[in-house]
Structure 1
């Protein structure tokens, strides 16, 4: 009876975590749709529309680390409460915007509220992962993404038909306030990692950041996030253009490719966490990279629509598996480095990777063709795959390559056919 009561309590807490994350994601998705339309209704220029649209993700990337430090200093519950108050006030100001400049300024003020909520949730969820099964590692990210890419935009499209933009933003402000009681109920408010914080307390911020990102687990997961978000961002930015221009699809027929990749990503977060415990970290990572590379190969070489679809689904599955493994690794060191610090450290590399994937990938696509850029991303995943191989395997491969590099030029100098040498070296 006691065990069943404990299990019910854990399940209820997980549901509350997921509800908070879903509400947070829904706000992101709703604002993502409403912001450019509200700006357009205020006769904003294209530059001003871009500013309004980009302020929220930029704020999430820039503010994540300071917010993470605040969580470790004051506790997730207090930071969540402050985010609720800030979001309520700032989005109410957004609702009163009468000019594009006002709208941009108010959105800048509101932008820290979203990461204050999500990082507070994630920092507490790290503690949950360290005390229970890792199978649910991707659930919080999955529910937030579900709100951001599906329910939020859908809700926005429905509400815009009945409400003006000012009223819509009033509802956003109210949602921040109404989330406060649930956050107070779910979040612990504990301050973590006293030993690590006491050793860095009072030091310059740059030294604290060096200690955080100098930790091997944080450094490696940051590099992995940079690479994976780069590929995902390029896909999201250009797959519709590829489908329309290369495969002659209409906009309506091409749009589901975005949803398909997103759904497969969320499915991996929800259902493939158990495979991590079964396979172990290194094998799981290699499987994830292999699935993602197969998706990239299909996307890069696809000449028919089914191949493009299969590539999209495989890429989503592979990237989702990588995200699960990253969360588990971050959770494992969160008690040492501070749960808020670790939660905040994951966003800047992801944001930078997303920017690089869209910007650099777009520039490269103008040179070699957009579809061929998918093949370029294979290189980054091959490097990640290499470092997940056992050291003896890497040493053996290096030795074989070194032998080949020496033997082939020598054979050519002696007049021996290089093909025969290559065959003997491989044997």
Structure 2
């Protein structure tokens, strides 16, 4: 007996104001909790005087468990409902973050960070399933606004709030606040996620083909492979910038912690602003041109970050990176949703949950392996070159260009 995606009923029913407002508040809180944790872990690692190897491993550890759990969690969401899966992930995440201050060691921080990464997919696979299921009905403009609500907490509010928390509560108290933010999402979860209806089908054991089924789409769908490549590299660049720019600004440019974190804030403001304002522009100019412009901004920003020896130039680079990332985010989510409409939306959400963190983990590994010998700042250069390669790919891949054109039969 086949099981319909849990969120299929959401698509069939109207989007009520209660659902929309609750989902926006939940995604802001969810993004805020993870965003504060990301900046806090980065600053705490510097505070613990972690080596380049330890910094890179801690950065990679934020995505390690996600790679292993993204596909199985996708099956869990289908079988047991997004509400139950999201709630368990929030509870486990809150518990683990509350344990972080118990021992002041970079290796202990690495271990806890890795453990948290195993439960985070329970939260964002659930959120992504709801979001992607409603994306077509929202339209590109409102879809960017909806997605921006999540990124508002992650990129915009989190950096400044983290500095404020450290100043007033210290690192230990700040980790307890992260735990509280994880628990706070449980208030809105019942309004956003549907409960699974348990029966003989969805209580049976896992079958391996159910877990790996989404991967078959990557093998058979050529356009999905291109989208996954774009998502992988944009996540790699974003994670590398998000974790190491604070370290680079402090160690190489002698900036204070608050000023270094402001680089993240600037990028976050531009990123979230683009999500809220540029969705309609993507439809107007066409997604192929939209992709090329976004990729060009990313490439220019990364090369500037790699080559500059002037602190002042880091600010426009952060702006360009945020703008380019926002444009890629809008285009990629619409592309993922289009593939989901053509195939199965319940399989696309786990793929999204797998590919993005894979790039994030590779970004951390690059810093760990080459940071000491090449230099953390210099590593922006090859990442920038990879985006130039993506521009060439998007410009020449005729099958993908055709995929991006609007469906005139709709």
Confirm or deny a common fold (TM above 0.5).
yes
Corresponding residue of 1:314: 320
Name the count of aligned residue pairs.
Answer: 376
Is the counterpart of residue 227 in structure 1 residue 247 in structure 2? no
**CA-to-aligned-CA distance 1:143-162 (integer Å, 9 cap, x gap):** 33332345345445545566
Corresponding residue of 1:29: 35
Corresponding residue of 1:213: 218
**CA-to-aligned-CA distance 1:310-330 (integer Å, 9 cap, x gap):** 222112211221111111111
Is the counterpart of residue 332 in structure 1 residue 338 in structure 2? yes
Distance verdict in 2 for CA 1:45–1:294, change over 3 Å: closer
**CA-to-aligned-CA distance 1:235-286 (integer Å, 9 cap, x gap):** 345545655677x553355443333223222222222111111122212111
Corresponding residue of 1:291: 297
For 2:126 and 2:42, how far apart are their aligned partners in 1? 28
Distance verdict in 2 for CA 1:85–1:284, change over 3 Å: same
For 1:162 and 1:371, how far apart are their aligned partners in 2? 31
Corresponding residue of 1:425: none
Corresponding residue of 2:395: 389
* Structure 1 vs Structure 2 CA RMSD: 4.4
Is the counterpart of residue 180 in structure 1 residue 186 in structure 2? yes
For 1:371 and 1:225, how far apart are their aligned partners in 2? 22
Q: TM-score, normalised by structure 1?
A: 0.70
Q: CA deviation at 1:183?
A: 1.3
Corresponding residue of 2:287: 281
Is the counterpart of residue 265 in structure 1 residue 293 in structure 2? no
Higher RCO (Cα < 8 Å, 6 or more apart): 2
8 Å CA contact 1:72–1:339 kept in 2: the answer is: no
Q: How does 1:21-170 map to 2 (within 5 A)?
A: 21-32=27-38, 56-87=62-93, 94=99, 111-159=117-165
For structure 1, list consecutive stretches of 5 or more residues without a partner in the other structure: 1-7, 192-196, 395-427
Q: CA deviation at 1:231?
A: 2.4
Corresponding residue of 2:209: 204
Please tell me whether Structure 1 or Structure 2 has the larger radius of gyration of its CA atoms. Answer: 1
For 1:368 and 1:239, how far apart are their aligned partners in 2? 15
Corresponding residue of 1:3: none
**CA-to-aligned-CA distance 1:200-237 (integer Å, 9 cap, x gap):** x9453575243133233432222112222222333345
8 Å CA contact 1:60–1:114 kept in 2: the answer is: yes
8 Å CA contact 1:120–1:340 kept in 2: the answer is: no
For 2:362 and 2:225, how far apart are their aligned partners in 1? 18
For 1:378 and 1:95, how far apart are their aligned partners in 2? 34
Question: Which deviates the most, 276-285 or 357-366?
Answer: 357-366
For 2:381 and 2:114, how far apart are their aligned partners in 1? 37
Is the counterpart of residue 377 in structure 1 residue 383 in structure 2? yes
Q: TM-score, normalised by structure 2?
A: 0.72
8 Å CA contact 1:362–1:370 kept in 2: the answer is: no
Q: CA deviation at 1:59?
A: 3.0
For 2:136 and 2:381, how far apart are their aligned partners in 1? 37
Corresponding residue of 1:250: 255
**CA-to-aligned-CA distance 1:59-101 (integer Å, 9 cap, x gap):** 3343222212211233322322333444466566x38957979
For 2:372 and 2:54, how far apart are their aligned partners in 1? 26
Secondary structure of the 1:133 match is: helix
For 1:34 and 1:296, how far apart are their aligned partners in 2? 24
Q: CA deviation at 1:139?
A: 3.8
For 1:282 and 1:365, how far apart are their aligned partners in 2? 34
For 1:387 and 1:302, how far apart are their aligned partners in 2? 27
Secondary structure of the 1:83 match is: helix
8 Å CA contact 1:67–1:340 kept in 2: the answer is: no
